[in-house]
Amino acid sequence: MNLHILAALGLGLVAAPVLAAESAGAALLKSQCMSCHALAKPESASLDRLWERKGPDLHYAGSKFKQPWLEKWLQKPVRIRPADELYARHVRGTDKEDAVDESTLTPHVKLSKAEAESVAAALMALAAPDLVEKGAFKGEKVSMTMGGMFFGKLRGCGACHMAKPGSGGASGAELYTAGERLQADYIYSYIKNPQKFDPRIWMPTLGLAEPDLQRLTGYILQLDAREGK
């Protein structure tokens, strides 16, 4: 009996700092992040909401991001979508292709190491098992030649996304850092049906078969390693 109490106390001692970090993070989420990001599933799935929101939804952050990357990025935020979001609010016409209007972009708030760690911990608690299929990605290695052909010529992902810095589309997120940023099962689930995450999001559903979803997820994850970063 006494042993049980001791064990419980011991667990409490280990768990306490984690919980403290998470609750400090939760407070920061409310004070710093909530005005731009949805921390709970939005009631409205309208296109108007998508135009009004200032940053990506975070209500499924724990099923999306890798915690070490979150900690790093929150201390030194850099843009992941070349034209930010929603891209159309930050684009202007020129005599050539449309260009990003840098004057419309605002830098993301920067956190201290301690703040970043507690916010990352709080974000990781926002899981969405209904959106991300756990274990969906089978983890098989992919030929980069085949994957690259599929990503580019066969499916046209490069139209909106960059597979290497400076080359590819600008309305979607850069993907050469996706392996460092994102969980494999999230990449798989998002490609499979982006509208499951947001019914009005501007990424189309490609209707891919299972082997193709596996191949594309593997290729995107390996992009990071190939860049040798």
Partner 1 sequence: MNIARAASTLFLAGSTLAAGLLFAGHAVADDAEHARATRNYDTYCAQCHGINRNGRGINSRDMSVQPRDHTDAKGMGDIPENEILKVIKEGGLAVNKSVLMPAWGNVMSDMEIREMAAYLRHVCKCGSSK
Q: How far is 72 from 67, CA to CA, in rounded Å?
A: 9
Verify binding: residue 53, partner 1, rule CB under 8 A. Answer: no
If residue 222 lies in a helix (H) or strand (E), which one and from where to where? helix 210-226
Verify binding: residue 193, partner 1, rule CB under 8 A. Answer: yes
The least distance separating partner 1 from the CB of residue 189, rounded to whole angstroms, comes to 15
Mapped onto helix, strand or coil, the DSSP state of residue 168 is: strand
Choose the binding region for partner 1 from 47-55, 71-79, 132-140, 184-192 (rule: CB under 8 A).
47-55
One of 33, 38, 83, 223 touching partner 1 (CB under 8 A): 83
Q: How far is 104 from 171, CA to CA, in rounded Å?
A: 15
One of 156, 212, 224, 227 touching partner 1 (CB under 8 A): 156
Cβ contact 63:129 at 8 Å: yes
- Tell which residue, 181, 184, 189, 203, has the closest CA to residue 123: 181
The least distance separating partner 1 from the CB of residue 165, rounded to whole angstroms, comes to 12
Verify binding: residue 228, partner 1, rule CB under 8 A. Answer: no
Verify binding: residue 154, partner 1, rule CB under 8 A. Answer: yes
One of 47, 128, 131, 136 touching partner 1 (CB under 8 A): 47
Q: What is the CA radius of gyration of the chain?
A: 20
Tell me whether the omega of the peptide bond preceding residue 86 falls within 30 degrees of 0, making it cis: yes
Per this entry, what is the length of the chain?
Answer: 229
Which residue type does 204 have? P
The least distance separating partner 1 from the CB of residue 76, rounded to whole angstroms, comes to 26
CB-based contacts of 39, cutoff 8 Å, min separation 6: 29, 30, 33, 58, 59, 126
Binding to partner 1 (CB under 8 A) within 112-141 occurs at none
62 or 82: CB nearest partner 1: 82
Verify binding: residue 8, partner 1, rule CB under 8 A. Answer: no
| Burial class for 17, CB neighbours closer than 10 Å (0-12, 13-18, 19+) | exposed
72 or 196: CB nearest partner 1: 196
One of 30, 68, 205, 225 touching partner 1 (CB under 8 A): 205
Q: How far is 15 from 2, CA to CA, in rounded Å?
A: 20
Choose the binding region for partner 1 from 11-19, 121-129, 134-142, 161-169 (rule: CB under 8 A).
161-169
Binding positions for partner 1, rule: CB under 8 A: 47, 50-51, 82-83, 86-88, 91-93, 96-100, 153-156, 158-160, 167-171, 193, 195, 199-202, 204-207
